[in-house]
Amino acid sequence: MVKRKIIILGTFLILLIVILNISNLMASNSSDKNDNSTVKVMIYDGDGVMDSSVEGIEDCLNDSNNQNISQHKFEYSTTDTIDKNTLNGYDVLIMPGGDASTYIENDDINGSIIKQFVQNGNGYMGICAGAYAASNSVDGYYSGWGITPDVNTINENYTGLLSISTTSYGNKLINGSLIYIHMENGPAMYTNNSQIVMANFADNNTGYQNFAAIIAETVGSGRVILSGPHPELYPENPRLLTNMVLWCSNKI
């Protein structure tokens, strides 16, 4: 009788060990899956776009995938039309540098659909022209789509490197008090909500001084980043661009 109980107990312990091992394996696989979750990115590549900006964005996302800059992987596509169908299934829309007025006047870009896309829980990342277009207005020129209604922009003319200083909020994107980054006549931005500023211009020799360089805001259930500078142009900063996309997709 005692021998039988020992056998039953031993069998039970073996089954328990097997179950625990299977559970640990499943948890490990689940963790691996989450660590390598894919972010799907749509990049606008139509009228008014600057080709080098699109190419730089693609290079940075490829570098992130190949160099394992993030635990997340990126899949991206390009489109010359922004509507409900082209955005379906994507996590983040990137509007690159280019000509903001062309973006706004382009019948193939539906600003209302972009707003809805963000409010429904997705992300928008606007670089230079993409930031101008998504703002409330470009002072003295035209109104934007108003995706970030509390952000206004000022048109400045400067091409070359400028220094920007990250805020404590901006440390979510990249650590470092000063970053040198390319400008291509991008916007100087201002807002009444200082809590959403991720970086400010730190250069004292241009009209950008004291204006915001990168602003990140929650809109509806989604997220928006507007960047005056170009992290995708030389000198490319794949880590910064990667983290900007991840913030828009609510991964960081």
pLDDT (tens, 9 = 90+) of the chain, 252 residues, equals 544 544 444 454 454 443 444 444 444 443 333 444 999 999 999 999 999 999 999 999 999 999 999 999 999 999 999 999 999 999 999 999 999 999 999 999 999 999 999 999 999 999 999 999 999 999 999 999 999 999 999 999 999 999 999 999 999 898 777 899 999 999 999 999 998 999 999 988 888 998 999 999 999 999 999 999 999 999 999 999 999 999 999 999
Does the domain at 37-248 match CATH 3.40.50.300? Answer given as no
pLDDT at site 172: 87
CB count in 10 Å sphere of residue 20: 10
Domain ranges across the chain:
1-35, 37-248
Q: What's at 82, amino acid-wise?
A: I
Tell me the pTM.
0.85
